[in-house]
Structure 1
Amino acid sequence: MLLSNQRITLSPFDETDRDLFIEFFMDPETMKHVYAPFTYEEAVAAFEIKSRPWTPESNSWLSFSISSLDSGEKLGHLGLKIINHEAKIAEVGYMIKQSAQGKGFAGEALNLVKDYGFEELQLNKLTATCSVENTGSFKLLEKLGFIREGCLQQNSIINNRYVDDYVYGICKSHIAEI
């Protein structure tokens, strides 16, 4: 399965995504709003889990590589995980390499996955969680129509420090209103 627009393509993880994934998860700057940086071994193990085959019945992540159509360069990755099969709710998350940030790639990728989730998977709602300190991420979610549904106090531990998280959601029925 490939999802694409005029600038990017999303494809399920394969072995060619391994190096960038490991680089992301070991980099303190990339991980500052997500987790403490992983060791090499932890990053390899996480990639193995995230790159497993996926079906709509899965309880795991559908992980996509984000690539430039022009150059083929790997720009980042985006994942979708159905967290409530009965209510048709999925969580999304994304990481973009620093050199590609601020250029619209994450928004385009998120829109492709949003369309795929609502149209192909017939999901009812997408959610996202991000640190209150991750301004770029929560501004992007708001720009794309996600609604801030709450703030979870001390919801995550990043680098041995409790961090508050914002929770966002967008419902299929609200898409026409945006």
Structure 2
Amino acid sequence: MKISSNTINLRLLDKSDWELFKVLNTCPKIMEHVFEPFSIEETKKRFEERTQPWDGEVGQWLCLAIDEINTGEKLGSIGLKITNDKARIAEVGYLLRIEAHGKGVASEALKLLKNYAFTTLNLNKLVATCSTKNIGSYKVLEKAGFSREGCLKQNSIINNKYKDDYVYGLCAPQE
């Protein structure tokens, strides 16, 4: 499976992506608004889960690597997991290497994933949660057409501090 634009490819995460996955999940700066950085052991476990074949089961992540077309550079990952099979709702998430921040990579990847989710997977709605302090992330969501549906106070704990999260949603276009 490969989904492409003029600048990036999305492809299934595979064993060659270990170094990228390790950086994304253990770097304090990248994880600042997401989770506490994972240990190497937890990162290995998550990597094994994310590189398993995706069968669309509720709660299982479809994890895609984001590669720059011209250089082949591994820029980050993006994915979705179905959270409600009956209502056809999936959560989306993305992480980028610091060097790829602010260059439109997340926006382009989310646009590709959104189109795939609605046209190929026939999903009804995509949702995302992000820290109220993660301005870059919620601007990506808003640029992709997601609407802020609420604010969850003290919804997560990162580095022993409660964090507020925004909840976003995007429904499939109706014909």
Q: TM-score, normalised by structure 1?
A: 0.95
In structure 2, C-alpha distance between the alignment counterparts of 1:156 and 1:59, rounded to whole Å: 19
Runs of 4+ that moved beyond 2 A: 56-59
In structure 2, C-alpha distance between the alignment counterparts of 1:56 and 1:119, rounded to whole Å: 15
Q: Secondary structure at the match of 1:123?
A: coil
In structure 2, C-alpha distance between the alignment counterparts of 1:112 and 1:29, rounded to whole Å: 26
Alpha-carbon shift at residue 58 of structure 1 (Å): 4.9
Check the 8 A contact 1:22/1:40 in 2, yes or no: yes
Alpha-carbon shift at residue 49 of structure 1 (Å): 1.1
In structure 2, C-alpha distance between the alignment counterparts of 1:55 and 1:119, rounded to whole Å: 17
In structure 2, C-alpha distance between the alignment counterparts of 1:59 and 1:27, rounded to whole Å: 25
Check the 8 A contact 1:56/1:121 in 2, yes or no: no
1:12 aligns to what? 12
In structure 2, C-alpha distance between the alignment counterparts of 1:28 and 1:47, rounded to whole Å: 18
Q: Secondary structure at the match of 1:173?
A: coil
In structure 1, C-alpha distance between the alignment counterparts of 2:106 and 2:59, rounded to whole Å: 24
In structure 2, C-alpha distance between the alignment counterparts of 1:45 and 1:123, rounded to whole Å: 28
CA offset digits 1:137-169 (Å, max 9, x no partner) = 001111111000000111111111110100000
Alpha-carbon shift at residue 173 of structure 1 (Å): 2.7
In structure 2, C-alpha distance between the alignment counterparts of 1:76 and 1:100, rounded to whole Å: 8
Cα distance change of structure 1 residues 153 and 123 upon mapping to structure 2, 3 Å threshold:
same
In structure 1, C-alpha distance between the alignment counterparts of 2:37 and 2:103, rounded to whole Å: 25
Structure 2 residues without counterparts, runs of 5 or longer: none
Check the 8 A contact 1:12/1:63 in 2, yes or no: yes
User: Is 1:125 aligned to residue 125 of structure 2?
Assistant: yes
2:136 aligns to what? 136
Check the 8 A contact 2:26/2:37 in 1, yes or no: yes
2:105 aligns to what? 105
- Root-mean-square deviation (CA, aligned residues, Å) is 1.2
1:60 aligns to what? 60
2:152 aligns to what? 152
2:171 aligns to what? 171
Give the number of equivalent residue pairs: 175
Q: What code does the residue aligned with 1:67 have?
A: D
In structure 1, C-alpha distance between the alignment counterparts of 2:96 and 2:43, rounded to whole Å: 16
Alpha-carbon shift at residue 23 of structure 1 (Å): 1.2
CA offset digits 1:16-36 (Å, max 9, x no partner) = 111111111111111110111
Structure 1 residues without counterparts, runs of 5 or longer: none
In structure 1, C-alpha distance between the alignment counterparts of 2:105 and 2:18, rounded to whole Å: 20
Check the 8 A contact 1:28/1:36 in 2, yes or no: yes
In structure 2, C-alpha distance between the alignment counterparts of 1:31 and 1:142, rounded to whole Å: 21
Percent identical residues? 52
Q: TM-score, normalised by structure 2?
A: 0.97
